[in-house]
Structure 1
Amino acid sequence: MKRIFSKGLVFNICIIASVIILLLSLLAGCGKKKVSVHSDPEINKVKQTEKEEHNNVTSFSSDNYICKLTGEVIYQKDEHQVIAVMINNEPGAIPQSSLNQAEYLYEALIEGGATRIMAIYHHTYPKKVGPIRSARPYFMQIAKSLNAYYVHCGGSPQAYRLFKQGYIPHIDAIYTGGGIFYRTFDRKAPHNLYSTMESLIKYFDKKGYKKQQGYKFYPLTDSVVNKYTSENSKVKIRFSGWYYVKYEYDPVKKAYKRFVKEKPHIDKETGVELFAKNLIILVAKYDTIKNDDKGRQEVDFSKGKGYLLQEGKTIPITYTFDIKNSFIMKDNDGKEIKLLKGKTWFEIVPQYGEIEIN
């Protein structure tokens, strides 16, 4: 028997079927795990980016921004040029400004029994650097070996002969207009000349000296592993009859606290004490330049012996120096030494100086 369905009936059946299918699909979904939009990695990534942009924060992997000189995390996205600044270390200039922000520091004897310090800056931006003093050829050699740009105020006749030959890119406060260097009124000249890292960077940028593509840095390590170590806690280094420095090992900081004679060496701006994670003592040959009216020194550090002090341990070393490789330092097995992550002080001591390690 043939059955005839009206159009209205067919329509109602379709509606009922659709409702049943919808209910079945909802029931089937009840057994599945809920997915929150907040667990979607792409959505979270967008939200995190929006949050960081709102807070004016640039997000980047710290592994990509490690200072090659110290192994420390760099919070500036771009490192600036390697800049070497000549720092006054005479009694009237102590304490200095921003030595605590330098990555490497080199101390060597000058005329009169005093020393001078060359501070190396690569990723810090101190607002006050100094007091700045004059150039000496042996500091210029080290700066050149680091592929650094050199900052000074004046220099010895020997230094100026090298500048005339184009030995190293440099800025001389004597021949540079205002806006880069300035003097303060709390000290007398020549112990009161300063600059800012921002001003120095802008100067070298303007001169076309951009960030160096190649520069010297030493292999780094997290701990001291060397069979030739001996224990130490105090070091005294005498450069001349009246000047010496001391270092005392701090087992909490795992670093060496620096003293000028018997007083802690501090940063003038912050009062922070100066520490060295690595203390390198290099014995060099000093001679007074013949017929020099000031008794200026010439220094031969082409090769020699010394000590590396790390984490309360002393490692005897030998070293060589050349312009392409700077100081290459090796232990008694002839293996190149590694530096701990942190600041490094180089003490270039005359052959007649006194070194006491206890």
Structure 2
Amino acid sequence: MRKKILRLLATGLLAGIMLAGCGKKNEGEVNPAPSAEEIPQETPANTLEPTPEGFPTVSEREMVDGKMQSYLTGEWKDEKIVNRRPIAVMIPNNSPAMPQYGISKASIIYEAPVEGRITRLMAVFEDFDDLQRIGPVRSSRDYFVYVAMGYEALYCNWGLARPYVEELINRDTVQNISAAVEGIYNPAHEAFDRVSRPGYATEFTGYLFIDGLLEAAERLNYDWEYDNDYVPPFTFAADGVRAEDNYKEADDATMIYPGGHEGNKGGYGAYNPYFEYNNEDKLYYRFQNGEEQIDEMDDSQLAVSNVVFQYCHGEVRDDHDYLAFAVHGEGDAIVFTGGKAIKGTWERYDGDTTPAKFYDKDGEEIIFNTGKTWICNIWEEYGEFVEYE
């Protein structure tokens, strides 16, 4: 049965995305940029979010045989990896750029509309040491920068919408790995190169190379450690339980369409992406243009444990169709996990270095299943096109 989502009035103003960045708290001495093997043994002082009453969640990270649960996925990984700040990489999502390379290794994928009424991806990686490259890499928009700051990620891009990004991305509080283009004051030339892709436009041949990324971060004197007051983005179900068991009354949802079936100008109407839930492995598989969306690296289909629809007020800024989205404040949200659709809200009021948090109708943090998460920024004014069944 087709479900249409009624919009609630979001109190977050669009001007929120233009607020001055609060930045990293530790602006003094920084550590050299290491690989995962070189991360210090100390861990951040804070924990994952408190346990919602009545349901077991990951509430405090503990080390077991050299492993800890990730802030971004809740999965057990080498503690040196999960205590290292992630990278956030801008990746095109239009048909002439496909397929993308390395994206299946991302812990979080954030998708939002850009000019031309298509979407662009920002893939957030914490476990990238085994990757040679990621890409292709494309240009920045300011709302992506603000989202990356909430994860305390190093922001990686090739190009920028100068009128709206230049001042922001060059602040001391935005630690970025940017290709050498006009409008970037401290480029990371060693981190990027082109890959031969016969038949592809030049703009889809630029890639981020991990060895060069590490060299650039060290030269730029970036700190790889999370702040002690870092705020994790999600609350995860504890080992041995499934989040959907806490939401038995929620709607079932095994097919998810961020842009519905009809053509529309909300960003998801051009390539008609959707997610299909597999009850056997409990994953949502991504499709686009009627085909599986795959990673060129290993031909695997993109799949995640959680899908989020985050409704944001949006506006068209100028004659170039540059868009703006209010990624601070609050709005409606739907979290899809374990075949269920949990309706609620999102909030982000505590500055640029904290992420959006997701709450159910009772005001409790929504519990996610461990694994990767895909967040779709839904242009609120086009929310009527959202469907799930």
TM > 0.5 between the two?
Answer: yes
Structure 2: distance between partners of 1:177 and 1:237: 35
Which residue of the partner structure matches residue 162 of structure 1? 168
1:333 corresponds to 2:362: yes
- Using structure 2 for the length normalisation, give the TM-score: 0.72
**Which has the larger share of helix?**
1
Which residue of the partner structure matches residue 33 of structure 1? none
**Which of 214, 231, 243 is residue 201 of structure 1 equivalent to?**
214
Amino acid in the other structure paired with 1:209: Y
1:320 corresponds to 2:326: no
The secondary structure found in structure 2 opposite 1:160 is helix
1:81 corresponds to 2:85: yes
1:246 corresponds to 2:274: yes
Structure 1: distance between partners of 2:270 and 2:81: 43
Say whether the 8 Å CA contact 1:86–1:133 is kept in structure 2: yes
Change (3 A) 1:297 1:350: same
Amino acid in the other structure paired with 1:306: A
| Alpha-carbon offset, residue 119 of structure 1 | 0.7
Deviations 1:16-53 (Å, cap 9, x if unpaired)? xxxxxxxxxxxxxxxxxxxxxxxxxxxxxxxxxxxxxx
**Which of 371, 375, 381 is residue 342 of structure 1 equivalent to?**
371
Structure 1: distance between partners of 2:321 and 2:307: 28
**Which of 142, 146, 157 is residue 151 of structure 2 equivalent to?**
146
Change (3 A) 1:63 1:270: same
**Bigger radius of gyration:** 1
Which residue of the partner structure matches residue 309 of structure 1? 336
Which residue of the partner structure matches residue 236 of structure 2? 220
Which residue of the partner structure matches residue 35 of structure 1? none
Amino acid in the other structure paired with 1:297: L
Amino acid in the other structure paired with 1:335: E
Which residue of the partner structure matches residue 20 of structure 1? none
1:231 corresponds to 2:252: yes
| Alpha-carbon offset, residue 172 of structure 1 | 1.5
Which residue of the partner structure matches residue 40 of structure 2? none
Worse-superposed segment, 159-168 or 136-145: 159-168
Change (3 A) 1:300 1:273: same
- Please report the RMSD computed on the Cα atoms of aligned residues, expressed in angstroms: 1.9
Structure 2: distance between partners of 1:77 and 1:286: 38
Task: Give matches, 1:21-40, under 5 Å.
Answer: none
| Alpha-carbon offset, residue 74 of structure 1 | 1.9
Change (3 A) 1:166 1:245: same
Amino acid in the other structure paired with 1:134: S
- Using structure 1 for the length normalisation, give the TM-score: 0.78
Say whether the 8 Å CA contact 1:246–1:261 is kept in structure 2: no
Worse-superposed segment, 155-164 or 173-182: 173-182
Which ranges in structure 1 are unaligned for 5 or more consecutive residues?
Answer: 1-59
Structure 1: distance between partners of 2:257 and 2:109: 17
Amino acid in the other structure paired with 1:155: L
**Which of 299, 319, 341 is residue 271 of structure 1 equivalent to?**
299
Say whether the 8 Å CA contact 1:113–1:243 is kept in structure 2: no
Change (3 A) 1:146 1:311: same
Amino acid in the other structure paired with 1:139: F
Structure 1: distance between partners of 2:79 and 2:294: 25
Which residue of the partner structure matches residue 28 of structure 1? none
**Which of 190, 196, 202 is residue 185 of structure 1 equivalent to?**
196
Change (3 A) 1:308 1:63: farther
The share of aligned pairs that are identical, in percent, is 26
Structure 1: distance between partners of 2:144 and 2:377: 11
| Alpha-carbon offset, residue 165 of structure 1 | 3.5
Amino acid in the other structure paired with 1:303: E
Which ranges in structure 2 are unaligned for 5 or more consecutive residues?
Answer: 1-62, 182-186, 260-265
Deviations 1:96-135 (Å, cap 9, x if unpaired)? 0111101111000000011111111112322120110111
The secondary structure found in structure 1 opposite 2:207 is strand
**Which of 128, 137, 143 is residue 132 of structure 1 equivalent to?**
137
State the number of aligned residues.
297
